[in-house]
Amino acid sequence: QVQLVESGGGLVQAGGSLRLSCAASGSIFSINAMGWYRQAPGKQRELDAAITSIGVANYADSGKGRSAISRDNAKNTVYLQMNSLKPEDTGVYYCNAWVRPTRRSQEFRYWGQGTQVTVSS
């Protein structure tokens, strides 16, 4: 089994910053892409940022220039630095990872439990 545990969410005023972390643990041979998804109240979960195993990142238009995704492969951890936060960034942020549990297995997609980010105006 693989577990993803997020941390770093909270309440912040508009213009502030937060850094989210997500650590993967369990049966892990390798991790391919990792990412962060946001689910705003009453809306579907949407990609916010993703990063490949070699560090190539891509961002949703809403976060470009304000967010930075990074990862520490030695710690099986992905981070999301969010700056200049806006009220519309409010939502539950879910970590996602494509994990190969063993050398011979296929990749599986795992999700964290989510961390709440609330940006007040």
Q: Which helix (H) or strand (E) holds 48?
A: strand 45-51
Do residues 37 and 60 touch, judged by C-beta distance below 8 A? Answer: no
In this prediction, what percent of the chain has a pLDDT beyond 90?
Answer: 93
Residue 63 has a pLDDT of 81
- Mean pLDDT computed over every residue of the chain: 96
Mean pLDDT of 4-12: 97
Residue 91 has a pLDDT of 97
Q: How far is CA 114 from the centre of its chain?
A: 9
The Cα 11–Cα 6 span in angstroms is 15
